[in-house]
Structure 1
Amino acid sequence: MPARPPAHLRLGARGETTAARFLERAGLTVLERNWRWKQWELDMICREGDTLVFVEVKTRGPGSLATPAEAVDGRKQAKLGKAAAQYLSKNKLWDSPCRFDVVCVRVGDDGEEIEHVRDAFSPALGGGHAAWQPW
């Protein structure tokens, strides 16, 4: 019998499943989950109308002092931007409008609390570029 995944991985998977259901109920279509490129991962890639939405999901359990959104700092944003740029290149989607959302899931004794931050950030790719997409 395979070993049970560690608690933090189970919590993260629960948060991603909760976020996917929430986003689908809000009218987004989930295209990909856990899309990987090298050492980086995009939790979810969704479509809302003609807009591609790269979604970072942060989950915290009972007793956590940090907010989920605090984990999406500048360094994390840059990594997500690089992964998203690779996704756009591999799928020839550079002409698609895009945005980055963060879904924060807090799991408590009473269930889950969800906060969806639309257009949460716009990562720079370095080299002085202010916009992460080339248009």
Structure 2
Amino acid sequence: MSMHRRALGMAGEDASAEWYERAGFAVEARNWRCRTGEIDIVATRRDVLVVCEVKTRSSDRYGSGADAVDWRKQRTIRSVASQYLAQRVGRAPRRIRFDVAVVTMSAGGPSVRIIESAF
């Protein structure tokens, strides 16, 4: 992965984490990894735990970032989330939500759109 793409992805994850914090969530984990994959953001608010996949683009020229979260990616995220929950210490959430954050970077700064309960 090129340095530009890595920096773009990190900027999108930063903007998404800030969005969750402004919405009253506590960001519990970022870039949580295990053998089978990675979760970009884990955030909690009350009894809801959100697992968020962040897709950052510099433009919409090649489609929305949400298009990249196909059924295979969803299956991987669910599997990794299951492993995250198994090692998580504390009260189990009543509800788990899988979101997709679509971030478009421009000269004016990032535009963040959260698709709640995307899958």
TM-score, normalised on structure 2? 0.90
Code of the residue aligned with 1:74 in structure 2: it is W
Aligned-residue Cα RMSD (Å) equals 1.7
Does the Cα contact within 8 Å between 2:36 and 2:76 map onto a contact in 1? no
Does the Cα contact within 8 Å between 2:60 and 2:104 map onto a contact in 1? no
Work out which structure has the larger RCO, using CA pairs closer than 8 Å and 6 or more positions apart in sequence. Answer: 2
Q: Which residue of 2 aligns with 1:104?
A: 102
Code of the residue aligned with 1:37 in structure 2: it is C
Counterparts of 1:12 and 1:34, CA distance in 2: 11
Identity across aligned pairs (percent)? 37
Code of the residue aligned with 2:68 in structure 1: it is A
The Cα offsets for residues 43-77 of structure 1, whole Å up to 9 and x where unpaired, read as 01110211111011110013642211001110000
Larger Rg: 1
* Structure 1 residue runs of 4 or more that deviate by more than 4 Å after TM superposition: 92-95
Structure 1 stretches lacking a partner, 5+ long? 122-135
SS in 1 for 2:7: helix
Q: Which residue of 2 aligns with 1:23?
A: 20
Code of the residue aligned with 1:103 in structure 2: it is A
Choose the corresponding residue for 1:116, options 107, 114, 117. Answer: 114
Report the number of matched residues: 117
The Cα offsets for residues 71-90 of structure 1, whole Å up to 9 and x where unpaired, read as 11100000000000111112
Residue 82 (1) aligns with residue 76 (2): no
Structure 2 stretches lacking a partner, 5+ long? none
Report the alpha carbon displacement of residue 111 of structure 1 after superposing the two structures with TM: 2.0
TM-score, normalised on structure 1? 0.80
Counterparts of 2:51 and 2:61, CA distance in 1: 25
